[in-house]
Amino acid sequence: MDFPVQGYKKFLPRSLFGRSVMILIVPVAILQVVVALVFIERHWTGVTRQLATEFASEINLVASLVEQETDPLEREALLAEAAASLGYEIWIEPEGVLAPGIRRPAYGIIPRVLTETVQEFIDRPVRVDTVALDKRVDLQVALKNGVLHATPRENRMIASKPHLLLVWMVAAAVVLMLIAVIFLRNQVRPIRQLADAAEAFGKGQPAPPFKPSGAEEIRRAAGAFHLMRGRIERQISQRTMMLSGVSHDLRTPLTRMRLALALAEDDPEAAALKTDVDEMERMIDGFLAFARGEEGEAPAQTDLRAIVEAIVEAETAAGHSVDLAVQADRDFNTLLRPDTIRRCVQNLIGNAVKYGGAVQVALDASRSHVGVTIEDNGPGIPEAQREAAFRPFYRLDAARNMDGGGGSGLGLSIALDAARAHGGDITLGSSALGGLKVSLMLPR
């Protein structure tokens, strides 16, 4: 059965495979982020700062030489020689005006480190622009006789292709995680098969083919399940044979007693004995029904609504007050054992009719479940005795004996066995009518 999930857990995977994959991926992803941040901070930033410092030293030297040179021709020759030696364009704008400041993208660590380093190591007013030129940095330095321009390429001051390490790191992590997920899926598959086999056995359905495989612990669990299933099947078979034999042996003397009473004269004592014989036969039928558990019935697509409506109509025809409420737009077809569920619902409604003057039955369905709720205005069952009421042969006090009138005490036990054989359950509560509320829930 599905249970509601609360809080942050509803955002987590529900399956073992999903949680295992999350346990595998989340630490790797966090490690990748930490390594990337450390790499950018320590290596990429450090290399950029070192290159920018060298560039600032070169510009300081060129600026000093240009300021010392008064001849324009010599100054141009000096700038041409410096540009050829350094590998980037350098020229002077005579009488130029510098607007100090920086211009860089609003995001990014490297442009920030570059501009900060240049401003720190050039001892003149400067303007740094990492946006205006394509793949180049526009540096402007204020001189006494103009503005010095330098436009080195970005890779002159930024580590060349540092992202390749991150790409290789992420790609390798993805490949390794995919391989790990494949192996993990193979390890989880036997657990899922074991769960399917256990669920099918719990519902009384043929178990799917299942061979112990996987890790040693999973093999041991699968082997223990096979042994447990064999023991349970033998126990059920022995119980059924024993009760069937006892019931068969009891029917012979009961038949003789019934014949003798039929030949006897009509008197109060004979009538009382006939009532006792009928009650004993009902008890024997109850024993057999409890022992069999309708184990031979095959599941089939069944309309639960049709079963409940037929039972309610029969009770109404017998003069009992039973109201039925059905959500008309819901689908109540699901895989059930019809006779088993019919016996279950009949026992529950029969108990409500016996001990309550008015009974209300409600049908509900969702995507995962179908359910029947039965309420009455009888004496109810004390909360302390509700769990014990499902025990075989358990009798409650005289206020409300669920199997009263000389019953066998198996009505609720048979109903609960039928519900759990389908993977469902029955719960008892307090009704708004003042009596007992019985809720039968069956999975689709």
Asked, colleague to colleague, whether 212-292 and 300-443 share their fold, the answer is no
Structural domain boundaries of the chain? 16-163, 212-292, 300-443
Residue-wise pLDDT tens for the chain (444 aa)? 444 445 566 777 777 777 778 888 888 888 888 877 777 667 777 777 888 888 888 888 888 888 888 788 888 888 888 888 888 888 888 877 777 666 665 555 667 777 778 878 888 888 887 776 677 888 888 888 788 888 888 767 666 666 677 788 888 888 888 888 888 888 888 888 888 887 777 666 666 677 777 777 888 888 888 888 888 778 777 777 776 777 677 777 877 777 777 777 666 777 777 777 777 777 777 666 655 655 556 778 888 999 999 999 988 888 888 889 887 778 888 888 888 888 889 888 888 888 888 899 999 888 888 989 999 888 888 888 888 787 776 666 544 444 444 455 667 877 888 888 787 888 898 888 888 899 999 887
Buried-exposed string 82-121: b where 16+ CB fall within 10 A, e elsewhere: bbeebebebebeeeeebeeebebeeeeebbbbbbebbbeb
Q: Are 435 and 379 in contact (CB under 8 A)?
A: yes
CATH superfamily placement of domain 16-163: Sensor histidine kinase RisS, periplasmic domain (3.30.450.300)
Q: Is 182 exposed, middle or buried (0-12, 13-18, 19+ CB in 10 A)?
A: exposed
3-state secondary structure 222-271: HHHHHHHHHHHHHHHHHHHHHHHHHHHHHHHHHHHHHHHHHHCCCCHHHH
Nearest residue to 187 (alpha-carbon basis) of 213, 161, 165, 168 = 213
User: Count of alpha carbons within 13 Å of 147, Cβ hemisphere only?
Assistant: 15
Sheet with 425-430, side-by-side order of all strands = 321-326, 358-365, 369-376, 436-443, 425-430
> Which among 129, 202, 191 has a CA at the least distance from the CA of 420?
202
Q: 429 pairs with which residues across the strands?
A: 437
Q: What is the pTM of this model?
A: 0.49
Structurally, what CATH architecture does the domain formed by 212-292 represent?
Orthogonal Bundle (1.10)
Contact 10, 170 (CB under 8 A): no
Select 300-443's CATH number: 3.30.565.10, 3.40.50.20, 3.30.70.1280, 3.30.70.100: 3.30.565.10
